[in-house]
């Protein structure tokens, strides 16, 4: 269960209600530019249709709050849980993940009506401290799916040879962050890792525990497109000595030669974005890479990826800038290169996604939220340009399989000292 202390429960009040309404409105707005066909596309099993995200986030509130805690509540449609349950075994049978793109019905308009009904039914619960934990979890869950919706539709539109744009291009490209200091330095020692229980956090962020670190340095800058091009030009994707065994097999089997969404033709260096095909700026942080690629680059550069504990310690020592490039419905969805550990892209660590000492998942279906995935995945830290602003924190643990790269994933380097 998420960690929300009792004192804070008494203070949340209307602020929690406002955040609920704002989150719900943003999800609905993200689907506005999409046609019915756009919203139904599923380009691969890792991704889901935008329409499914719209429904699944609604199912979450209807199931775990309205159905379970409001006497006499009747489901909007008792057949829809089969369509919009994701992976909760305790909630029974569900449509196969690979079949979500076959859901031509219900239409987007029907799902919008359902969301409106759930929003109305939720109103009496929003200021009730008994439901603070679950509402906080529901908001955070929906924010996660806002990012997934954005990355999933980007992958779907990428399949179209016309390179269609989801949004009109806005803003300007940053020139990349410059700093005279190249790295953060930490002298090591025993450090406290994990969320302290003050405010919301996912259960996988705790309990707090001691970790011993040896001295290290962490780069201030994310690796950018120009540096990645040097890696390519130097034969990075052709040199097996740089790669983990599974990574080299993945490169060979999938003919990987560059980050996802890169395209080079007759001197034109482009990348696919939510604004269609755009010029690839050398100073922008590289993104849409796999863990295998990040690890190979670090080896090529004579460095390594940080552990998740090293990243968290540095993040706690630094002030999080409100100008970091995260999603708030207005900023453009492209990495910029801000001077911040948060924003632009999620950063791979070399840490396996495993439970902390004394970790215990919650009972019931909610307990399936994080713990069941603690096998075969790696931890990423920070936030991306598609992460709703304020969603992440120093203890936040994102996680993906080593080969996955359709998310906004990048890297910063670390070294032992």
pLDDT for residue 237 is more than 80: yes
**Beta strand segments in 224-331, E:** 262-265, 268-273, 276-279
Tokens 């609604």 -> residue? 58
**CA 16 to each of CA 46, 130, 286, 322, 327: distance values in angstroms, whole numbers, following the listed order:** 31, 13, 35, 20, 19
Confidence of residue 265 (pLDDT cuts 50, 70, 90): confident
Instruction: Looking at the structure, give the CATH architecture of the domain made up of residues 6-158.
Output: Up-down Bundle (1.20)
Does the model's pTM come out above 0.85? Answer: yes
Whole-angstrom Cα Rg for the chain = 21
Instruction: Give one DSSP letter per residue of 345-356, joined into a string.
Output: SEEEEEEE--PP
Domain regions of the chain by residue span: 6-158, 183-416
**Which CATH number applies to 183-416: 3.90.1150.10, 3.30.1330.10, 3.30.465.10, 3.90.1580.10?**
3.90.1580.10
Give residue-wise pLDDT tens across range 276-309: 999 999 999 999 999 999 999 999 999 999 999 9
Q: How open is the CA angle 376-254-350, to the nearest 5 degrees?
A: 35
Closest-CA residue to 341 (of 228, 219, 259): 219
Alpha helices in 236-347 (DSSP H): 245-254, 291-300, 308-317
* pLDDT on residue 7: 36
pLDDT for residue 207 is more than 80: yes
Confidence of residue 361 (pLDDT cuts 50, 70, 90): confident
* pLDDT on residue 14: 53
* pLDDT on residue 8: 37
Evaluate whether 6-158 and 183-416 have a shared fold: no
- Structure tokens given for 332: 């453009």
């Amino acid at each position: 269960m998420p960690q929300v202390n009792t004192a804070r429960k008494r203070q949340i009040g209307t602020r929690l209600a406002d955040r609920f309404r704002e989150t719900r409105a943003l999800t609905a707005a993200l689907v506005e530019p999409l046609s019915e066909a756009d919203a139904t596309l599923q380009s691969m099993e890792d991704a889901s249709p935008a329409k499914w995200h719209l429904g699944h986030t609604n199912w979450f509130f209807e199931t775990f709050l309205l159905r379970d805690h409001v006497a006499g509540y009747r489901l909007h449609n008792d057949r829809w849980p089969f369509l919009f349950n994701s992976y909760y075994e305790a909630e029974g049978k569900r449509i196969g993940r690979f079949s979500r793109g076959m859901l031509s019905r219900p239409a987007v308009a029907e799902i919008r009506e359902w969301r409106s009904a759930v929003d109305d039914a939720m109103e009496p619960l929003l200021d009730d401290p008994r439901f603070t934990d679950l509402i906080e979890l529901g908001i955070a869950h929906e924010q996660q799916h806002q990012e997934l919706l954005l990355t999933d539709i980007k992958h779907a539109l990428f399949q179209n040879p016309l390179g269609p744009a989801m949004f009109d291009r806005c803003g300007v490209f940053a020139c990349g962050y410059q700093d005279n200091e190249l790295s953060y330095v930490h002298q090591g020692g025993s450090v406290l890792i994990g969320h302290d229980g003050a405010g919301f956090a996912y259960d996988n962020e705790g309990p707090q525990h001691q970790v011993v670190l040896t001295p290290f340095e962490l780069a201030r800058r994310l690796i950018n497109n120009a540096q990645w091009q040097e890696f390519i030009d130097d034969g990075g994707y052709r040199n097996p000595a740089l790669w983990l065994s599974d990574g080299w097999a993945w490169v060979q089997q999938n003919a990987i030669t560059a980050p996802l969404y890169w395209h080079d033709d007759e001197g034109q260096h482009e990348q696919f974005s939510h604004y269609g095909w755009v010029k690839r700026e050398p100073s922008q942080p590289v993104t849409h890479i796999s863990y295998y690629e990040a690890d190979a680059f670090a080896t090529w550069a004579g460095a390594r990826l940080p552990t998740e504990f090293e990243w968290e310690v540095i993040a706690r020592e630094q002030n999080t800038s409100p100008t970091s490039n995260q999603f708030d419905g207005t900023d453009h969805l492209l990495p910029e290169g801000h001077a911040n550990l948060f924003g632009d892209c999620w950063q791979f660590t070399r840490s396996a996604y495993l439970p902390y000492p004394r970790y215990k998942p919650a009972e019931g279906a909610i307990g399936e939220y994080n713990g069941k995935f603690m096998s075969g995945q790696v931890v990423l830290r920070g936030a991306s340009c598609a992460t709703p602003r304020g969603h992440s924190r120093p203890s936040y643990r994102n996680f993906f399989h080593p080969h996955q790269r359709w998310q906004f994933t990048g890297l910063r380097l670390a070294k032992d000292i």
